[in-house]
Amino acid sequence: MALDFAEGFVLPIDKPYGMTSFGALVRVRGTISRHLGVKRIKIGHAGTLDPLATGVLLLCVGRMTKQIERLQLQKKEYVATLQLGATTPSYDLEHPVDATYPTQHITRQVIASLLESRFTGIIEQVPPTYSACKIDGKRAYDLMRQGHDVELKAKKVVIDEIEIQAFDAGAMTLTLRVVCSKGTYIRALARDLGEALHSGAHLIALQRTRIGAYTLQQCLHIDDVKAWIEANS
């Protein structure tokens, strides 16, 4: 069935590493606009991914932009790899390590116990200071980069599932699968788990594998969008 650009559709893409969610949107918008021979089409995305994260990004085209709010409320699944024993200001690889901590006491059993007791269900989470959260109309990450002190309030988020997929006691790396609600920051989860372990932690890889019914397996690589549109028009 040919694509109906007026009625619109949801296009799930696998956002590349290093690209912002808006950058991915702009690239796809340009591809579709050139295909249709118009200046610009209506398009939005449901749920921002950090530049250093990859995975499911839902682009809503045409009238499907009306579904963005509904899609953002869907449960999300991530696979996150953490480096234990070290922190960075952004809780990921955007900034270099700023502190290191002991890890000799950390075992898989200790981690599993903490995940069950403190990181499952409804939890309080303070968003990262390097985030898109707004303070007096300004993004927190912009204020941080301008040298201002940023204080964000804790928010309630829901962790439906969290499980250990891999733990390397030698390298002190931990891979988790997380199913969570809208507004959950996996970077903040890494920070908080590091603190709960009386150590430190930051993300070294993050992939969103699902939003609601949309899975990573359904996603197009951004370089394949042009061919996909041509094949379905």
- At 137 the three-state DSSP class reads coil
Sign of CA dihedral 155, 51, 91, 178: positive
DSSP one-letter string for 44-92: EEES---TT-EEEEEEEEGGGGGGHHHHHTS-EEEEEEEEETEE-TTSS
Q: Find, among 131, 187, 126, the residue nearest to 152 by Cα.
A: 126
Q: Find, among 172, 168, 202, the residue nearest to 187 by Cα.
A: 202
- At 183 the three-state DSSP class reads coil
Distance, C-alpha 37 to centroid of its chain:
33
Which is the catalytic residue, given 4, 14, 50, 142? 50
Residues 6 or more apart whose Cβ sits within 8 Å of residue 128 = 90, 91, 140, 185, 187, 188, 191
Tell me if residue 50 is catalytic: yes
Q: What does the chain come to in residues?
A: 233
Q: Which residues are catalytic?
A: 50
